[in-house]
Structure 1
Amino acid sequence: MEKIFETKESNADKVCVFPKLEEIHITKMKRLRDIWHTKVNFDSFSSLISVNIEKCNKLDKIFPSNMEGWFESLDNLKVSKCQSVETIFEIKDSQEIDASGGISTNLQVILLEKLPKLKELWNTNPNGILNFRKLRIIEVYGCGELKNLFPASVAKDVSNLERMSILYCQEMVEIITCQDASEAIDDPLEFPELTYVRLYGLPNIKYFYKGRYPIKCPKLKELSVNECLKLKTFYKEISKTSEEEESFVFSAQKVLSKLEYMEIDFMEAQNLLPKYPMHYLKELSLISVEGVDFLNQFPYRMPNLEKLKLSFSIGFEPRANLAQQERLVIALELKELILLNATIKDLGFPILRRLELLSLEQCHGLSNLNPPSLSFTYLTCLKLKNCRGLRNLMASSTAKSMVQLKIMKVIDCHKVEEIVSNEGSEEGMMMMKIEFSKLISIELVGLRSMTSFCSYKECEFEFPSLEILIIRECLKMEKFSVREPIAPKIKDVFGVEGDEKTKWHWEGNLNATIHKIFSDKHKSFKW
């Protein structure tokens, strides 16, 4: 089907098409070239609120110039995975310009995703023809040929804009463009309602706009800038040449003090964080981290930080004489800590004492969660993935402290031999009982060296709340523990991939069930 709506040319302008239709969702119409007929009555589609177009690979535009009925009603627009779309809004070159601003549209949300041929949102400047004053959210993802987002005339007019997200648009050079001299922006550009900005994977972006001043966004709370190497994000109120000043996006002094969430590159963070207090900041994510010694200033600059995510540069090796880069010593009351590709060798630092979530991925320097005296009294979620040096998770004394733990996931840590170890424990050879009173879910996957949850024969485990146990690809695991664990709510174990009948197992108790999974797996390997 190449067209959806079609009328005879002789009476097309008299036909009113779907005047009460509120929603259109079109998907996978691979031959569709036109959604709307070339000519219809102005009242056609005049109640339309939502349009969602996806995987229609012959479409080259979404709203042709003859389609005017949506102006005052359309609230939400989403266009995704359409391989040929070049323009979203087509405007007649000959259309009369209204000095008062043109027709007011009701459009509040624009979502554009994976449109590889998209070159522009408007084929010509809509200034004086259409205005988008009610626009609140614009999100663009994977539009490789898009060079800019707004004409300057539109940017000056979107005073209600709250969220702006632009991800993986390789040809994007600037967010706002001046198409001619009449659009030049001489005064600071202001977005009074903007609270969220995310710029990610824009390798060619150089400017937010080519103006002399940083943009003003007094309500900005969340800022994420990553993989935008040519963009200078913050102007630091230091004497600069006018040429350099044009490329900065924000004033560090005015923006940083109000942020609640920030994600930026490590090199820029090194210059900013020690200089500017950020008392409202709750979440911080640093990309391409190459050391942690400067983070010791955090308690003074961001005393209310709750969540810290550090993504270390792959292949980075700390200098041997900098012990701070191998062991984090930050005195923060964090609730969540996420480390990726970290080079630290142990987690023995005060930062952990009030943690509720700890997530470690590709932290190959860790052999365990040292030291044995480490306490996780508040921890509710523990996740470890692909930590090649990890041999066991924790000492028995540390395990006893996890009275709030609800979720435990250990995935693809190939050297892990057991989860709980008695090494370094003060109890020595004494009989001990460890109760994970609130633990609901355990997931152990791809632990090729693990023989059991704990091999210490004098240790008894109790899991009164455990409901989900997943043990997969743990080829050496013959039993859960030496002593039969107490887990009254567990009635089956997820052992292998497959249909519902084969993937769940139960042989009366945990040790017997795990031994059966072990035996069945090894029988299948025989040749």
Structure 2
Amino acid sequence: MQTLFNEQVAFPNLKRLTITHLNNLEIIWHNKLFANSFCRLISLKVGNCEKLSTVFPCTDILGKVLKSLEVLSIYRCGSLEGVFEIAEFNVKQTHAVIDTKFKELNIEGLPRLKHVWNKDPQGTLTFHDLESVKVSYCGSLKNLFLASIGKNLLQLQKLHLYWCGVEEIVTMGEQEAGAIVSFEFPQVTSLKLEVLPRLQCFYPGKHMTRQCGKC
């Protein structure tokens, strides 16, 4: 399959990228990027790309683009099933942990979306700066956060879910099975859970929530 950007394309100073109405686009990036390409990308918007199946498909893309990306918006992509594909990511191979600057995630109208993160990053990717998450009209999405990510959202301020197939907000991972998990959201000021007919619980396992010192 042809990619929009291959290993010979470089945008070392690009800060904002919008991709819309490319009906034949299946893959945005090649699995290897040109050195320093997209290293300053702050905002990415992808919409109305009917054949696109994922946004970040592999290790090399995650390692380079997520170092600077702050805002990600994805809307009306009928075939998209996942956002962050981290199955290949292995900290033993890279010898590094990627601390992302990711702050805002907006997802709307992805009827086939099955997951935002397909696998536990096991500490190799962090999302400590995430402040706002808004997801709507994603009927196939069963959960929003992996437990390893949900435990570390200390900067989260807004969480909005609307018309989704979500059964649980945070899903249990292999490492959390049988353990008591602690969740803390000291910065949340806006929480909206609307029209979620399949929602059963916040987290399916044993857990506890903590309030901040000012509460």
Q: Does the pair score TM above 0.5?
A: yes
Q: Distance in 2 between matches of 1:156 and 1:55?
A: 33
Q: Distance in 2 between matches of 1:61 and 1:73?
A: 19
2:135 to 132, 140, 145: 140
The secondary structure found in structure 1 opposite 2:152 is: coil
The secondary structure found in structure 2 opposite 1:128 is: coil
Deviation for aligned residue 1:97: 5.3
8 A Cα contact 1:165 1:199, kept in partner: yes
2:55 to 52, 62, 78: 62
**1:164 alignment partner in structure 2:** 159
Aligned pairs for 1:98-113 within 5 A: 102-113=97-108
* Runs of 4 or more above 6 Å deviation: none
8 A Cα contact 1:194 1:217, kept in partner: no
8 A Cα contact 1:111 1:139, kept in partner: yes
Deviation for aligned residue 1:188: 3.8
The secondary structure found in structure 2 opposite 1:142 is: strand
1:52 to 34, 42, 45: 45
**2:195 alignment partner in structure 1:** 201
Question: Given residue 69 of structure 1, which amino acid in structure 2 is its aligned partner?
Answer: K
RMSD over aligned Cα, in angstroms? 2.5
8 A Cα contact 2:67 2:100, kept in partner: yes
Q: Give the strand-richer structure, 1 or 2.
A: 2
8 A Cα contact 1:116 1:142, kept in partner: yes
Q: Distance in 2 between matches of 1:108 and 1:117?
A: 24
Q: Report which structure shows greater RCO (CA 8 Å, sep ≥6).
A: 2
Q: Distance in 1 between matches of 2:27 and 2:181?
A: 42
Q: Distance in 2 between matches of 1:28 and 1:110?
A: 20
Residue 57 of structure 2 is aligned to residue 91 of structure 1: no
8 A Cα contact 1:16 1:43, kept in partner: no
**2:31 alignment partner in structure 1:** 38
Q: Distance in 1 between matches of 2:152 and 2:177?
A: 12
Aligned pairs for 1:246-257 within 5 A: none
Q: Distance in 2 between matches of 1:42 and 1:120?
A: 29
Q: Distance in 2 between matches of 1:183 and 1:110?
A: 27
Q: Distance in 2 between matches of 1:207 and 1:55?
A: 32
Q: Distance in 2 between matches of 1:215 and 1:141?
A: 25
2:113 to 102, 113, 118: 118
Describe the shift of the 1:116–1:18 C-alpha distance in structure 2 as closer, same or farther (beyond 3 A).
same
Deviation for aligned residue 1:154: 0.3
1:76 to 71, 75, 78: 71
Describe the shift of the 1:204–1:35 C-alpha distance in structure 2 as closer, same or farther (beyond 3 A).
same
In structure 2, the gaps of 5 or more residues are none
TM-score, length basis structure 1? 0.38
8 A Cα contact 1:135 1:160, kept in partner: yes
Deviation for aligned residue 1:179: 2.0
Describe the shift of the 1:186–1:159 C-alpha distance in structure 2 as closer, same or farther (beyond 3 A).
same
Q: Distance in 2 between matches of 1:120 and 1:183?
A: 20
8 A Cα contact 1:148 1:177, kept in partner: yes
Question: Given residue 193 of structure 1, which amino acid in structure 2 is its aligned partner?
Answer: Q
Aligned pairs for 1:427-438 within 5 A: none
Deviation for aligned residue 1:218: 4.7
**1:5 alignment partner in structure 2:** 5
Question: Given residue 95 of structure 1, which amino acid in structure 2 is its aligned partner?
Answer: N
CA deviations over 1:358-384 (Å, ceiling 9, x no partner): xxxxxxxxxxxxxxxxxxxxxxxxxxx
What fraction of aligned residue pairs are identical, expressed as a percent? 34
Q: Distance in 1 between matches of 2:103 and 2:188?
A: 14
**1:179 alignment partner in structure 2:** 173
8 A Cα contact 1:101 1:128, kept in partner: no
Deviation for aligned residue 1:40: 1.4
Deviation for aligned residue 1:157: 1.3
Deviation for aligned residue 1:41: 3.1
Aligned pairs for 1:41-440 within 5 A: 41-65=34-58, 66-67=60-61, 68-93=63-88, 95-96=90-91, 102-170=97-165, 172-182=166-176, 185-213=179-207, 215-218=209-212
8 A Cα contact 1:60 1:87, kept in partner: yes
Deviation for aligned residue 1:203: 0.9
Q: Distance in 2 between matches of 1:4 and 1:86?
A: 19
CA deviations over 1:445-490 (Å, ceiling 9, x no partner): xxxxxxxxxxxxxxxxxxxxxxxxxxxxxxxxxxxxxxxxxxxxxx
TM-score, length basis structure 2? 0.89
8 A Cα contact 2:53 2:82, kept in partner: yes
Q: Distance in 2 between matches of 1:97 and 1:111?
A: 31
Deviation for aligned residue 1:187: 4.6
Q: Distance in 1 between matches of 2:140 and 2:149?
A: 20
Question: Given residue 143 of structure 1, which amino acid in structure 2 is its aligned partner?
Answer: C
Q: Distance in 2 between matches of 1:81 and 1:123?
A: 20
Deviation for aligned residue 1:17: 1.2
In structure 1, the gaps of 5 or more residues are 7-11, 220-253, 255-527
Size of the aligned set, in residue pairs, is 212
Deviation for aligned residue 1:69: 1.6
Question: Given residue 162 of structure 1, which amino acid in structure 2 is its aligned partner?
Answer: Q
